[in-house]
Amino acid sequence: MNTYTIYTDGACTNNGKPNARAGWGAVLTNPQGDTLELAGPVPEAQEQTNSRAELMVLVEALERCTQPVPITLHTDSGYIANACNGHLEAWKAKGWKKADKKPPKHLDLWQRLAQLLLEKDVTVCWVRGHNGMQGNERADVLARLGATGRTYKKRVRRVAEEVA
């Protein structure tokens, strides 16, 4: 394996309501085959929305990819996948304005994500959520954990294959 593979998800209980709590989760597999699972809450001082959590997890995951190899990132957010695969560059070219002449919500995260996409060789793929894909399902579980306010970090080393 000579790439990173990442699955991400965001979650928000009571999305759009005053008592909302958002969290994010990611499953990263490095080029050596080791896996890192991460979860965390969106900080309380920030807007508690699913879309902020979905963006935050991309930044959190990409910042942990330190080896200079390609990255395949899977998200079940069509909006984020489409933005990363085209709209983002158009927004930047227009001074961070969308077609409606307004900046995208969570501009701070979009700008950080745009910088990471410039620095790294990232392919962003959309996957259907809740469709049985193991990495996506695990990221969903982790995101829901993050939405409870908990953080989680677990590294699993790949077991060396025995030579027969």
Catalytic-residue membership of 130: yes
Is the separation of the CB atoms in 6 and 28 below 8 Å? yes
What order of strands is seen across the sheet that includes strand 71-75? 122-126, 71-75, 4-13, 21-29, 35-41, 152-156
CA distance between the termini of the chain: 21
Catalytic residue of the set 74, 106, 140, 146:
140
Catalytic residue of the set 63, 121, 130, 149:
130
Catalytic residue of the set 10, 23, 25, 40:
10
Catalytic residue of the set 23, 60, 76, 135:
76
Catalytic-residue membership of 9: yes
Catalytic-residue membership of 100: no
**54 closest CA partner among 10, 120, 115, 99:** 10
Catalytic-residue membership of 54: yes
Catalytic residue of the set 37, 40, 54, 135:
54
List Cβ neighbours of 131 (8 Å cut-off, separation of 6 or more). Answer: none
Catalytic residue of the set 9, 23, 37, 146:
9
Residues tagged active-site: 9-10, 54, 76, 130, 140
